[in-house]
Structure 1
Amino acid sequence: MQSFNLRSILRPHILSLTPYSSARDEYTGTIGVFLDANENPYGSVVASVVRHSERSDDSDYNRYPDPHQWAIKERLAPIKGVRKSQIFLGNGSDEPIDLLVRATCVPGQDTILIMPPTYGMYEVSAAINDVPIIKVPLMSDFQVDTSAVLAAITDKTKLIWLCSPNNPSGNLLQRDAIRSILEAADHSLVIVDEAYIDFADTSSWTTELDTYPNLVVLQTFSKAWGLAALRLGMCFASEELIQVLNKIKPPYNISAPTQQLALKALAHEAGKNEMVAQILEQRRQLVEKLRSLPAVRAIHPSDANFLLVQFDKAKDVFEHLIEQQVIVRDRSKVILCDDCLRISVGTSAENERLLNVLQNMSSVPVTGELPLATGEAASKPELVSNA
């Protein structure tokens, strides 16, 4: 990958852009009389209603937050095995997704490449920015059609999106396929979205950042860390690309409360790992019990915290679950996901509720046999093999 040149794929005006310089960029200290940012010197409304004896830094919101979130990056870098200069933190993963499109793609000219079925925001972000989209569907086993992807890459392809573990199918994409794309796409950024990587028995692609300068890895605090309400996403890339993202992001894109809570979470990585273990055990049990239900036709293998399940008459099953206030995701209209519902792994009690509703269904008629995703007949639903 020595031939990869990031400057050659950035939009020309991004290279010469003068970024906004915030007050906290010009003075990075934490001690002093702060009269530089037009803040309220008396504190926040939140702090004013808290008894003085109970006040803490957590309730002082009158000062702007660290625009580069250095405290989080200091703690996160050793956990992820990267340098803090290789980390960008965004308002959810959606922010770096959008920034990557805006940094590289000239509207109406450059393109992105996606592999459906996949996470929908890649396409939405491109559409918002008027960027054409090339679609190369995954194969029937939800793996990358490597030859078709390589054939579809042009000199206008600026971003190639790979979701692994994939959403909505749940499976890891084969590393050899991703590696082939990284090595061939010498004029594109290759983004591996690892939102669900904590639930997979594999190493992150962050270990390859120094090998592939065109590699970008996305992760999130929303899933395994249980912090979806905070909207905090992680982007790992070369120092050069991280500098570009910092150049074009909003000045204070991560709020002070979010930074404070993320720091507290990072001090309890063992707690996150314990929750992941519980989810994986619940996933195992859920698969086992779903296989016994007559309406279930196939359960796709999952490396994530959800299952893609094929049902007889999935739309009717979905509506019945909604009536019983059991909320799953209908993916039956998505390519390769005919009659499939996406089911997040819940707690033991939540999973039992789901299973009881499915077991007691009487209003959903079961029609003719549907083939298993493997194309083989069986007496009961089987896990679909991706081998």
Structure 2
Amino acid sequence: MNSKIKRLLRKNIFELSPYSSAREEYVGKEGIFLDANENPYGIYNRYPDPYQNQLKQKLAEIKKCKSNQIFIGNGSDEVIDLAFRIFCEPYQDTALTFAPTYGMYQVSADINAVELIQIPLNKNFQIDRKTVENCLKDENLKLIFICSPNNPTGNLLNTDDIEFILQKFSGIVIIDEAYIDFAAQNSFIEKLNIYPNLIVSQTLSKAWGLAGIRLGVAYMNEEILAFYNKVKSPYNISSINQEMTLKYLNQQEEFNSKLNEILFERTKLINELNHLNLVKKVYPTDANFILMEVKNADELYKKLIEKQIIIRNRNSVIPKCLRITVGTPEENQKLITELKVIDNG
């Protein structure tokens, strides 16, 4: 295997003998199954495909990559957690990200006893190359998380800055593209063959509208995938979730229609927000949400809650800021109507 990848792995993970499930020893679909101690009766009495092969083939078709470059997790949070478990020695190695960003990087780091270095984004919510370059030489730095489009700021991070890190850093770079479907930019999946240390994380919770199914997808080279498969739970995605996801992935026309509607509504919302006196700034967004700076974030948040309009108060992360998810046309109109009432009050 690639010596650089091997060097990054925890020794116990490299030497790990993974659990071998019954469905790995025999992969056929026909026969009398008396091997896995399953109940012979019932609709969902059989264990699911541990490697979700049908689902991966469909995703490979949609994303124009190989099915053996795909890991499917129980939400993107499993992808994040496994990265710490595979590459970071507790109380020894470190990881890095750019703040403000998705909070689960910190939670997973804490659970796995790994220090997470957070470098502030600049005033335009972009990476400061000079600051990050000094950190890349640290031998204990194993992981870098880059959320693009970033949550909670909404913007894409500059491609050149991300590639600068991929070229300079010998560790694992995870680009979290949970919101990439809402952005007018290609995924970094197309660069997997250029950067062997790259993992691209996506989700079906956002643009596909399957948050309740809890299914995250990561794209990576085969060598890294082998260790993700080693460490994951044997049957981490249920049969029901695999079937339901496959059903929705075959509805590409409906997906495109709903995506276009969200993008249209996003533009309408931005235009309306920019005309309100209480809104000081609407930040550029490439996601399905809008970050805005207001005069009094806590007060406005409470007033909207009283009207049962629930947005996200990000004041503790970015001063005076609230985050609005793009809803249905009716939901968005109710929000704007109430904001106008408050604005005129």
**Contact 1:4–1:214 (CA<8 Å) still a contact in 2?**
no
Output the CA distance in 1 between the equivalents of 2:60 and 2:102. Answer: 26
Deviation at 1:363, TM superposition (A): 10
CA RMSD of aligned residues (A): 1.3
* Aligned-partner SS, 1:72: helix
Question: What residue is the counterpart of 2:92 in the other structure?
Answer: 109
Q: 1:146 aligns with which of 110, 115, 129?
A: 129
Output the CA distance in 2 between the equivalents of 1:97 and 1:272. Answer: 26
Question: What residue is the counterpart of 2:15 in the other structure?
Answer: 16
What TM-score, normalized by structure 1, do the two folds share?
A: 0.87
In the TM superposition, 1:28-47 aligns within 5 A as: 28-43=27-42
Question: What residue is the counterpart of 2:338 in the other structure?
Answer: 357
| Matching residue's letter, 1:339 | K
In the TM superposition, 1:1-387 aligns within 5 A as: 5-43=4-42, 60-153=43-136, 154-186=138-170, 188-334=171-317, 337-361=318-342
Output the CA distance in 2 between the equivalents of 1:339 and 1:204. Answer: 31
Identity of aligned residues (%): 49
Question: What residue is the counterpart of 1:367 in the other structure?
Answer: none
Output the CA distance in 1 between the equivalents of 2:181 and 2:319. Answer: 28
Deviation at 1:332, TM superposition (A): 0.8
**Contact 2:290–2:323 (CA<8 Å) still a contact in 1?**
yes
Structure 1 stretch 117-126 or stretch 262-271: which is displaced more? Answer: 262-271
Output the CA distance in 2 between the equivalents of 1:31 and 1:150. Answer: 55
Deviation at 1:85, TM superposition (A): 0.5
| Matching residue's letter, 1:167 | N
What TM-score, normalized by structure 2, do the two folds share?
A: 0.98
Output the CA distance in 2 between the equivalents of 1:363 and 1:41. Answer: 66
Deviation at 1:4, TM superposition (A): 6.9
Greater gyration radius: 1
Paired residues in the alignment total 344
Output the CA distance in 1 between the equivalents of 2:227 and 2:11. Answer: 12
* Aligned-partner SS, 2:275: coil
**Contact 2:277–2:343 (CA<8 Å) still a contact in 1?**
no
* Aligned-partner SS, 1:5: helix
Q: Deviations over 1:96-135 (max 9, x none)?
A: 1000000000000000001010001111100001001111
What stretches of structure 1 move > 3 A for 4+ residues in a row? Answer: none
Output the CA distance in 1 between the equivalents of 2:125 and 2:206. Answer: 22
Deviation at 1:81, TM superposition (A): 1.3
**Contact 1:282–1:348 (CA<8 Å) still a contact in 2?**
yes
**Contact 2:94–2:143 (CA<8 Å) still a contact in 1?**
yes
Structure 2: stretches of 5+ with no match in the other structure: none
* Aligned-partner SS, 1:118: coil
* Aligned-partner SS, 2:82: helix
**Contact 2:179–2:206 (CA<8 Å) still a contact in 1?**
yes
